[in-house]
Structure 1
């Protein structure tokens, strides 16, 4: 029985290699891979590895590798068709009915790929030739040099109506194939089909395997109504299922690159040239569910990059609604907002790679964007409006499909509401009707911040909350003449920054301890560790020494790494690190922790460390903005930063079932 490539690809997509292999081999996670004892040779040390991203297994004991089909054929001793049948049954997929028509259709698809390849070669040759001078000038203006043109296979379609049609005809390609691939425009009222793309710079679009399936064309004539024109839906191309630069980005993501979703072809190319190889773009539409699923297969937490204007915010909010029902533990989105009126290409030209890297690094988590959408209008000066906000946030959480993720979003929003309503309280006292079961703690927070009994009158200068104004700025209740001092004190007192300033911060120490006890993390997270900025000099120096040591000898053995550091004079620093980690609560950082717990611990520590940096930067920006211009928008911004500090203070690093793999279940660190 013949199976179409589409059927086999879908079967592989439905069955991760780890699931198939895991039925016969006991696997444990090792970074991005799984490892276990070889099913083909007797061994004591695991040399059998599974990589779901590559859809393959690797047996170093026998120097063999393969797909799920190869594994079933070898372990079950069956033929390829039998292996496919067993895997299809496992996946719950009905076997296709193969007919002569199906066989002919598959041969036809192969022919259509060849047609698209010939068209791409023609467009490339035209760009390089005499007719491509104008297009080359346009590309030069966009700083897309000859090397870039070759790398992305850019081309040019002349303004003639039949140029491509005649060229492909000379190659023996029938008009029907040109029509089926969308290269020609045809119809009942069009007696002679003609070229779809005319006087346009051409951008080939590939599928995830790198085969050309469509084109995007950028008009050179300013009078042309359609600035960008994509191929229509065809046998090969479904624009909602593919991404520009998807094939190259998938490979880059496997090597550790961040996936960054931008809007257009030129933005992608500019990002790749600037050192962001994981850049992709939708194909002339808003991000679709299928595209999001494809992106999540590449990266667990991609960054969506939007313009900072109203349209960009609306696009971000649409992406929030698209993602919420699909969220899973460890799978989310982050949102980077560009300066208003600039796309990534503009920002790269004006500020260089550092400007874009800073925007990407400061990308907000999905929870932040969902929260901002609900509170940005302001005006929560009555119990009814506050109740409406709470109801909207409840609706957001109810839309999350995964139970555990839904629970933690609810906790996160409740904590944000506590902090938000505290800052908008009436008369300096408790916000009536806002989470009454927690008001005793809330009043204590205000008493500490203001240095006075919160029930003792208004005590606030600034807007009247009953008229929709924002209280608490410039008044004694928030620190006298400096109306923002209490906010900074709150951040300094929060768990994110708690601890003696002369000692190494606990989180920095825990990050280093985790790596020292589990150097295998560095195989996949070396660049991530390198990107972390530590505020303590010892932590920064030890981080650099760890990276250098691993670069010299990339061993997963913790003792080898420590011995190398001691030889280089870091023995005292390692002792100070041990003193800095005074709590045994973070089991995942300990030597005996299971790899699954270690990885969760690492992800949480890094996320919280970056959150601390982001909060400190944003707090300073918000304070400065309000000092310069005391508008309601700037007041709302500072309120939002405060609410996120309160949320971090109350729900820091909760992990469902943390430590279970190590036999040490724990609720948090």
Structure 2
């Protein structure tokens, strides 16, 4: 069976040789560099103790310095699995998610045609280079001089010039005996609608050859010399050789430079890539006139685990970055991500290099930020979060983006990072004067030390209503010992007005580390273990069933729901009493009495929870827990005393 042209190249591009070989060998951690795809192991083809078997994942080849075995992923599978060539291709295609093509009896003929098309493209490269140095290329050479593009750079990137005539390249190639069908098939000319002979695709343009990963010219990009031209940059049409969404400009040289330790930089255009490469950033590439595609992203990750997207410092550059983020989120894997470097406003890499040199670009690249930071910035840019509704909308939008991530470990870490950024935005810790939010002047610091004088008993507290402080402590304790339920209550806890400053501080730190692997441990690390110990050993906290049964998510949810409801009604009653005290300075009326009664009734209903009725404890009028049996006995005693004083008879049964 013959395979269609390009299928094996695509298969090799999608296959990680390190993963394929890694199923058969144990890598030597001392010699291997996984970040660069440079791996060493004892050879699987002959017995040895030293690691002489080398895999270059970027180039897709292996070689043993002991037995001289060499090949690509397909050959490795045929040798180690004892299968034929086609069966090895089928194995790798299934792993790469590619569908095996149906039998194509004309495959060899198509492969021959692709070879012929590639030869025609190389002839065009040479013609364009000749035209650049001819009289017709005077203006083009002057333009390249103004862009400070040296002769060495022009030769290195095979830059040429397409003259302004309608059939300059056509006449040249047909004069060399090239079949007109091949010229049209290579995208170098277009058929005329007027019945005359075909005309050149590129006219009066500086020409940039586009090569595949193996260095073959597959297309051209042309920069218009006429400022009034409708298209400043024009790429070849898609052909049997060229799929613009599956290739990168400067792919092969960038892959080689990245293998030597250079950071992979993704710029916007050809001139940016050339300028970067000439300034020492050899691992620079560009998409081909379109937004980055999924296939291009996979190619980038084959070259480097963490490419840097170099953005032009304008709105269009930022928009392009945001499109890349939405594309990349579902594709993220452990160790595979992106960083973003934003050029100064109004400049691209080429502008910055010409203005301030390579060191200025290096400084921008050194400041590249992780993708999660740019995602966060996009969602908060230009917005004000001065209401619960706006904050809730932000949470919903961020959650929808994080849910696009398929890798569960990465999704969890993104959640933690967003939680940290959210904490810094809404609850910043700072010293040095000024106001919160806004321009955020002043010096920001990490968690302040927890006060060692934290009271062991809230009943001993002299500041604020005791009952409210009791419920605050229970809420925090339950959330601390069963943190997995925090996602359901974080908004309510965040908006809980803590009277005790120690409670307020503990609440903020707990919310900050809610999505971490060990929230309690992080709280103890930030505030000291005595902070948590003092909270949990308070009597009214220690006897709470949800605290005693730490980790019982169902009980914890019931408890938090009830305690938060109690807090709400207690605050409501306190506010009504405060208003009533003010009213008493004037004329009291029935409305004031009715309001107080309603608030008290709501508070009493909240106290009569199902959990308390079914548990071992009840809550007294002062908020303290009382054993239910003891309470019943006390009530019976009171009734007997009332009866002996001439009251109603005690109840029976």
Whether contact under 8 Å (1:16, 1:55) holds in the other structure is yes
Whether contact under 8 Å (2:313, 2:348) holds in the other structure is no
Distance in structure 1 (CA, Å) of the matches to 2:166 and 2:226: 15
Give the number of the structure whose alpha-carbon radius of gyration is greater. Answer: 2
Distance in structure 1 (CA, Å) of the matches to 2:403 and 2:224: 45
The worse-fitting range, judged by mean Cα deviation, of 347-356 and 393-402 is 393-402
Q: Give the equivalent residue in structure 1 for 2:303.
A: 298
The structure 2 residue matched to 1:59, chosen from 64, 71, 86, is 64
Q: Give the equivalent residue in structure 1 for 2:474.
A: none
Kindly indicate whether residue 324 of structure 2 is the aligned counterpart of residue 366 of structure 1.
no
Whether contact under 8 Å (2:17, 2:72) holds in the other structure is yes
TM-score by length of 2: 0.64
Kindly indicate whether residue 178 of structure 2 is the aligned counterpart of residue 173 of structure 1.
yes
Distance in structure 2 (CA, Å) of the matches to 1:131 and 1:416: 58
Distance in structure 2 (CA, Å) of the matches to 1:92 and 1:237: 22
Alpha-carbon displacement from aligned partner over 1:496-516 (angstroms, at most 9, x marks no partner): xxxxxxxxxxxxxxxxxxxxx
SS in 1 for 2:207: strand
SS in 1 for 2:6: helix
Kindly indicate whether residue 157 of structure 2 is the aligned counterpart of residue 152 of structure 1.
yes
SS in 2 for 1:381: coil
Q: Give the equivalent residue in structure 1 for 2:631.
A: none
Alignment of 1:481-520 (within 5 A): 484-485=442-443, 487=444, 489-490=445-446
Structure 1 residues 171 and 355, CA, compared in 2 at 3 Å: closer, same or farther? Answer: same
Whether contact under 8 Å (2:208, 2:221) holds in the other structure is yes
TM-score by length of 1: 0.63
1:292 Cα shift?
Answer: 1.4
1:109 Cα shift?
Answer: 1.0
Alpha-carbon displacement from aligned partner over 1:550-604 (angstroms, at most 9, x marks no partner): xxxxxxxxxxxxxxxxxxxxxxxxxxxxxxxxxxxxxxxxxxxxxxxxxxxxxxx
Q: Give the equivalent residue in structure 1 for 2:354.
A: 349
Cα RMSD, aligned residues only: 3.0
Structure 1 residues 471 and 133, CA, compared in 2 at 3 Å: closer, same or farther? Answer: closer
The structure 1 residue matched to 2:293, chosen from 269, 282, 288, is 288
Q: Give the equivalent residue in structure 2 for 1:128.
A: 133
Distance in structure 2 (CA, Å) of the matches to 1:330 and 1:238: 28
Structure 1 residues 235 and 369, CA, compared in 2 at 3 Å: closer, same or farther? Answer: same
Q: Give the equivalent residue in structure 2 for 1:114.
A: 119
Distance in structure 2 (CA, Å) of the matches to 1:17 and 1:270: 32
1:101 Cα shift?
Answer: 2.1
1:652 Cα shift?
Answer: 13
Structure 1 residues 90 and 267, CA, compared in 2 at 3 Å: closer, same or farther? Answer: closer
Q: Give the equivalent residue in structure 2 for 1:40.
A: 45
1:100 Cα shift?
Answer: 3.8
Whether contact under 8 Å (1:306, 1:313) holds in the other structure is yes
Whether contact under 8 Å (1:185, 1:194) holds in the other structure is yes
1:223 Cα shift?
Answer: 2.4
The structure 2 residue matched to 1:200, chosen from 169, 191, 205, is 205
Distance in structure 2 (CA, Å) of the matches to 1:98 and 1:52: 30
1:184 Cα shift?
Answer: 0.8
Alpha-carbon displacement from aligned partner over 1:349-404 (angstroms, at most 9, x marks no partner): 11111111111111111111011111112311111111111111111211212111
Distance in structure 2 (CA, Å) of the matches to 1:193 and 1:140: 33
Q: How many positions carry a matched residue from both structures? A: 454
SS in 1 for 2:427: helix
Whether contact under 8 Å (1:371, 1:413) holds in the other structure is yes
1:8 Cα shift?
Answer: 2.5
Distance in structure 2 (CA, Å) of the matches to 1:92 and 1:345: 38
Distance in structure 2 (CA, Å) of the matches to 1:358 and 1:181: 42
Kindly indicate whether residue 266 of structure 2 is the aligned counterpart of residue 261 of structure 1.
yes
Kindly indicate whether residue 383 of structure 2 is the aligned counterpart of residue 378 of structure 1.
yes
1:89 Cα shift?
Answer: 6.8
Distance in structure 1 (CA, Å) of the matches to 2:90 and 2:110: 22
Distance in structure 2 (CA, Å) of the matches to 1:104 and 1:416: 58
Whether contact under 8 Å (1:461, 1:471) holds in the other structure is no
1:134 Cα shift?
Answer: 1.6
Distance in structure 2 (CA, Å) of the matches to 1:284 and 1:166: 28
Distance in structure 1 (CA, Å) of the matches to 2:176 and 2:514: 66
1:95 Cα shift?
Answer: 5.0
Name the structure, 1 or 2, with higher relative contact order (CA <8 Å, separation 6+).
Answer: 1
Whether contact under 8 Å (1:415, 1:651) holds in the other structure is no
Whether contact under 8 Å (2:192, 2:199) holds in the other structure is no
SS in 2 for 1:119: helix
1:316 Cα shift?
Answer: 1.6
Q: Give the equivalent residue in structure 2 for 1:336.
A: 341
Whether contact under 8 Å (2:14, 2:298) holds in the other structure is no
Alpha-carbon displacement from aligned partner over 1:220-247 (angstroms, at most 9, x marks no partner): 1222222111111111111121111112
Q: Give the equivalent residue in structure 2 for 1:478.
A: none
Kindly indicate whether residue 16 of structure 2 is the aligned counterpart of residue 12 of structure 1.
no
The structure 1 residue matched to 2:189, chosen from 184, 192, 201, is 184
Distance in structure 1 (CA, Å) of the matches to 2:434 and 2:27: 63
1:70 Cα shift?
Answer: 3.3
The structure 1 residue matched to 2:329, chosen from 317, 324, 327, is 324
Kindly indicate whether residue 209 of structure 2 is the aligned counterpart of residue 251 of structure 1.
no
The worse-fitting range, judged by mean Cα deviation, of 93-102 and 210-219 is 93-102
Distance in structure 2 (CA, Å) of the matches to 1:272 and 1:654: 43
Q: Give the equivalent residue in structure 2 for 1:532.
A: none
Kindly indicate whether residue 36 of structure 2 is the aligned counterpart of residue 31 of structure 1.
no
Point out where structure 2 has 5 or more consecutive residues left out of the alignment. Answer: 450-508, 519-653
Alignment of 1:303-452 (within 5 A): 303-423=308-428, 449=431
Point out where structure 1 has 5 or more consecutive residues left out of the alignment. Answer: 424-444, 451-459, 474-482, 494-645, 656-669
Structure 1 residues 404 and 358, CA, compared in 2 at 3 Å: closer, same or farther? Answer: same
Structure 1 residues 187 and 129, CA, compared in 2 at 3 Å: closer, same or farther? Answer: closer
